[in-house]
A = this chain, B = another copy of it.
Amino acid sequence: MALIVHKYGGTSLADVKLIRRCAERIAADHQAGHRIVVVVSAMAGETDRLLGLARLLSSRPAKRELDAALAAGEQASIGLIAIALNEMGVAARSYNGAQLPIRTSGVHGKARIAEVGTQTLAAALDAGVVPVVAGFQGVDDKGSITTLGRGGSDTTAVAVAAALAADECRIYTDVEGVYTTDPRVVPEARLLPCITFEEMLELSSMGSKVLQIRAVELAGKRRIPLRVLPSYGAGNGTLITYEESSMETPPVSGIAFVRDEAEITVVGMPETMDAAARILKPIAEAHIEVDMIVQNTAREGRLDFTFTVHRGDCDAALEILDRELRPLGVADIAGNRQVAKISIVGLGIRSHAGIAATLFSTLSRAGIAVKLIATSEIKISVLVDEDHLETGVRCLHEAYGLAEG
């Protein structure tokens, strides 16, 4: 008899039929004797609808009030889920962020959870009631409603699981779980029954939008067994684990990729200056995130410096650099919007020799030029021409034998 947190996102609650399906799933686990706490997002489209109304009223909506308006989304869904559960004979009660309470910092729109009140939840569970908790929202010291930012419901679910020392936190989504790579690109992609926390972090940060990275980080910090699984069907999804399963670990677990990258190169930067800082500081001040960074060895007092940004930030970055660096007499500042990033992720990378060699020889045989390389303990990323992305991912998926598991 376990204590399990179920979390359902907006697409799993898009209409009455789907809400009922979620309720059936909750009811089944409840009737099997488990203690269930449910965390839900707003119904699909609801947050965007409210945000749209707010933006029509103000180009910069007052942040406290925007949080108040957005909180309506989960307020509705907790009530509706609880209604569906009661209809099925499962005693259920809804709780919004203020009712538990879920105490957060006062940074509206980006609040951080400080504490989840467990008294109300524990009393409900002891009484055989299924608590249905509003994700995404909390309350600050002044009693104002706060929101955690996009995808914050995952974080709420993990925080609730941590506060209750739950046996498992299940994030129900519209995918089967975590795959060795995107099945739309590689049909042989295999569902991973489990993945380590570190690997999941790398995959999340790579834009595999299965789980919010904040939620993964929080789960890791509190060592919450976290499972991603489909809200339809019967699959067991992917369990995120905190221990390496020794020798059986395959060297590479999965292949992630990001399509919308852009590469910026500064040619002929004077070597005597702190080149990297001169280039990256104004970029950071414009709140543009930089991903891969490569600095070439200097020749004749000049060096070339290359980095990548989100494609949407490319123009802004080029403009900034043009303003800041042209006066210093750099030879050229060039942007390339036709690039994409492929990463191999796996705990084995740090211990298995030859992983990197396989990567480069595979891409070379496929006629794919590697433009940039970045390495971490458990990840190797390469930047390639956008046109080569899918071929590269397929070749690497095969080279590492990921389809066989």
Name A residues whose Cβ lies closer than 8 Å to a Cβ of B: 16, 19-20, 23, 50, 53-54, 56-58, 61-62, 64-73, 75-76, 78-80, 82-84, 86-87, 92-94, 96, 98-99, 143-145
Complex: A72 Cα to B70 Cα, angstroms:
10
Distance (whole angstroms) from the CB of A47 to the closest CB of chain B: 11
Decide: B76 and A72 in contact? CB cutoff 8 A: yes
Interface CB pairs A-B, < 8 A, 21 = A50-B79, A57-B80, A57-B83, A58-B87, A61-B83, A62-B83, A64-B82, A65-B80, A65-B82, A65-B92, A65-B93, A65-B94, A66-B79, A67-B79, A68-B75, A68-B78, A68-B96, A69-B78, A71-B75, A71-B79, A72-B79
Decide: B54 and A66 in contact? CB cutoff 8 A: no
A92 contacts across to B, CB distance below 8 A: 62, 65
Which residue of B has the minimal Cβ distance to A68? B79
A62 contacts across to B, CB distance below 8 A: 82-83, 86-87, 92
| Interface of A, helix, strand, loop or mixed by DSSP | helix
Decide: A83 and B58 in contact? CB cutoff 8 A: yes
Decide: B82 and A94 in contact? CB cutoff 8 A: no
Taking A50-B79, A53-B76, A64-B94 as given, write out 12 further A-B residue pairs in contact, using a Cβ cutoff of 8 Å, ordered by the A residue number: A57-B83, A58-B83, A58-B84, A65-B93, A66-B79, A66-B83, A69-B76, A71-B75, A72-B73, A75-B75, A99-B143, A99-B144
Which residue of B has the minimal Cβ distance to A100? B143
**Residue in A50, A66, A67, A76 with the greatest tally of chain B CB atoms within 10 Å:** A76
Distance (whole angstroms) from the CB of A330 to the closest CB of chain B: 42
Which residue of B has the minimal Cβ distance to A84? B57
